[in-house]
Structure 1
Amino acid sequence: MKVAVVQFDPKIGQVQANIETARKLCNSIIPKSVELICLPEMCFTGYVFSGSTHIAPYLEDPVTGPTSLFCSQLAQRVGCYVAAGYAERLATHESIKTVVNLKEDNDGEKALVMSVEKEVHQVGANSAVVFDPHGQRLADYRKTNLFRTDMTWAKPGTGFKTLRLPPPLNTVTLGICMDLNVQPPASWTIDGPYEIAEHCVKTDTDILILLNAWIFSGDEDADADAGDYPRDWGTLNYWASRLRPLWSKGGLDDGKETKVIFCNRCGEENGKIFAGTSAMFSMRRGSDQPVLMHALGRRNEEVGIWDIR
């Protein structure tokens, strides 16, 4: 069984150009050669919007929007499942004004302490869609644990999404980027909480997919030793550490294996540098060691086609 992970550098607000970039990359995927294709969080709009007014022109209808049309066509052409992130337009009755707590003076996905109250207009949702091999819409998901950029315009989801698919995919859980992190107001210690990992244990997940726009860890020293194909090892280590219940000893040490796919974007946008480094891990409960099976470079626009067995 193989999966394709599409890593690229979408330009903010340039939807059609981003679609063409993704299309050119995906043209390398031969029909019937993979069971699953993943594209990153908000893959065709870009990510770093300043608020509801900025993002409003790019919000998509969940059925007829450009991400759904692209994914449906791709799923039919290749004959596989396709998962992608997009910015969903809320129905009028869902769109509300509310007050959220933000911390605006620190970078990085791990900045979770929020202290600034701000009124925002929730006009959309940071969402994901899954299409089946016939090009039919199978499932939707809204990001549950919002990053502060999302909080300026997005309504949070209500919980992680788990799908029961036919073999060889089987039980698949879907999350988006910040869903990996601890949910405020909780604080993370080695004992937890590990929300999405604990959900995967509870649902006996075979494959966890995380569609990301994850920010570079800033580990420039690793870059210096990596030649022309640097990876963000700080981010890889952090991703694995946040999924500790899937591989550590002392929990359900039953040897259950979960494959974890991180599909991240690369590039730079409005002063934010993204980590790239899309990756796949094998995590076996009780092994005490996650295994990195594949990882792309930090800066590369490419498709990783990986054997998931």
Structure 2
Amino acid sequence: MTKADQMLDRYQPGDIDILVLPELAFTGYVFESIDEIEPYLEDTCTGPSVSWAKKQATRLSCFVVVGYPEKYVDGEELIRYNSQCFVNRQGELVKTYRKAFLYETDENWASEGPGFETIDIPELGKVGLAICMDINPYQFKADFYDFEFGHYHSNAKTNIILCSMAWLKSKSKEDTSKNSDTVMDTINYWAVRLLPLMRQSVEEGEEHHTVFVACNRIGFERGSTYAGGSAVMDLSHSEKVQLLDHLKGDEEGVLVVDT
């Protein structure tokens, strides 16, 4: 958290409207069991990640999204989720989103969330929250062209999607030369998975755009290499995608994009 504070220290109120951090931003991502992640599980409203989001939201007067491992108590049952908090400019928790499509690493400890959702935010329109594997086929068993996530948000006419990621570089890409730029392969794949948003039906004369924000991890963790490439894309209904800006595969920083 200290490092994130330092990276954001130069920004002041008015500089940022929405701040998005990666999946499990402050804990790392690769946990092999419930016992391993247990010490890092956080309360929905008062955990360290949510408290950090509230503090930065108030300081910067912006919306903040942070991924974290959530412990949720339902009666006498403890349920563990891979979650995002969505905090408004006043530092109030607006929504806890729980990852719906789990990657194999998540299955070591997390339960599936209830499903995809949108939130109506007067300033922003319809906001969709997402965590990494959500944009992929369910368990990689569903048909690639089912596009479950893309169709949901196309039907919902979502205006902006805020996606926290711990997206891995494929093994074949890890084996290529370090000088080979593979980050666009990753970003292009994300765009393909959002294809329904570029094919959605609209009334004649109507113009609909969806802004997709992906904040990904970089570096290495327990034998896994992250793909980086945090990016912002503008998707229009006429099968067009405009890449507004992105970071490199090994670049750590704050990406500020005017949409």
Q: Fold conserved (TM > 0.5)?
A: yes
Q: Match for residue 6 of structure 1?
A: none
Asked if 1 retains the 8 angstrom alpha-carbon contact of 2:103 and 2:139, the reply is no
Cα drift, residue 235 of structure 1: 1.0
Cα drift, residue 61 of structure 1: 0.8
- Aligned-partner Cα distance in 2 for 1:223–1:134: 43
Q: Determine which of 139, 142, 153 is the counterpart of 1:187.
A: 142
- When residues 71 and 232 of structure 1 are mapped into structure 2, their CA distance, relative to the original with a 3 A threshold, is same
Q: Determine which of 75, 83, 94 is the counterpart of 2:57.
A: 75
Q: Match for residue 90 of structure 1?
A: 72
Post-superposition Cα deviations, 1:48-85, rounded to whole Å, max 9, x if no partner, equal 00110000001011111100110001000000110110
Cα drift, residue 219 of structure 1: 3.0
Q: Which has the higher contact order (CA 8 A, sep 6+)?
A: 1
Structure 1, unaligned runs of 5 or more: 1-18, 96-122
Cα drift, residue 299 of structure 1: 1.2
Residue 90 of structure 1 aligns to a residue whose secondary structure is: strand
Post-superposition Cα deviations, 1:75-132, rounded to whole Å, max 9, x if no partner, equal 000001101100001326333xxxxxxxxxxxxxxxxxxxxxxxxxxx5110000111
Asked if 2 retains the 8 angstrom alpha-carbon contact of 1:276 and 1:296, the reply is yes
Where do 1:165-204 residues align within 5 Å? 165-167=121-123, 169-184=124-139, 186-189=141-144, 192-204=145-157
Partner AA of 2:232 in structure 1: M
Cα drift, residue 28 of structure 1: 2.5
Asked if 1 retains the 8 angstrom alpha-carbon contact of 2:167 and 2:216, the reply is yes
Cα drift, residue 161 of structure 1: 2.3
What do you get for the CA RMSD once the two structures are aligned? 1.8
- Aligned-partner Cα distance in 2 for 1:175–1:94: 25
Q: Determine which of 230, 238, 241 is the counterpart of 2:189.
A: 238
Residue 276 of structure 1 aligns to a residue whose secondary structure is: coil
Give the number of aligned pairs. Answer: 253
Asked if 2 retains the 8 angstrom alpha-carbon contact of 1:43 and 1:85, the reply is yes
2:206 is the counterpart of 1:252: no
What TM-score does the superposition give when structure 1 sets the normalisation length?
Answer: 0.78
Partner AA of 2:218 in structure 1: C
2:178 is the counterpart of 1:219: no
Asked if 2 retains the 8 angstrom alpha-carbon contact of 1:222 and 1:233, the reply is no
Structure 2, unaligned runs of 5 or more: none
Where do 1:1-309 residues align within 5 Å? 19-91=1-73, 93-95=76-78, 124-167=80-123, 169-184=124-139, 186-189=141-144, 192-217=145-170, 218-219=172-173, 223-226=178-181, 232-248=183-199, 251-252=200-201, 255-286=207-238, 288-308=239-259
- Aligned-partner Cα distance in 2 for 1:222–1:174: 34
Residue 49 of structure 1 aligns to a residue whose secondary structure is: coil
What TM-score does the superposition give when structure 2 sets the normalisation length?
Answer: 0.92
- Aligned-partner Cα distance in 2 for 1:269–1:303: 21
- Aligned-partner Cα distance in 2 for 1:240–1:94: 38
| Identity of matched residues, % | 33
Residue 245 of structure 2 aligns to a residue whose secondary structure is: strand
- Aligned-partner Cα distance in 2 for 1:72–1:265: 21
- When residues 225 and 154 of structure 1 are mapped into structure 2, their CA distance, relative to the original with a 3 A threshold, is closer
- When residues 225 and 270 of structure 1 are mapped into structure 2, their CA distance, relative to the original with a 3 A threshold, is closer
Partner AA of 1:35 in structure 2: D
Cα drift, residue 203 of structure 1: 1.3
Post-superposition Cα deviations, 1:204-251, rounded to whole Å, max 9, x if no partner, equal 11101111000013436585255xxxx612211111111111114xx5
- Aligned-partner Cα distance in 2 for 1:188–1:28: 45
- Aligned-partner Cα distance in 1 for 2:18–2:62: 5
- When residues 85 and 185 of structure 1 are mapped into structure 2, their CA distance, relative to the original with a 3 A threshold, is closer
Cα drift, residue 199 of structure 1: 1.3
Cα drift, residue 184 of structure 1: 3.9
Post-superposition Cα deviations, 1:158-180, rounded to whole Å, max 9, x if no partner, equal 1112111122x211100100000
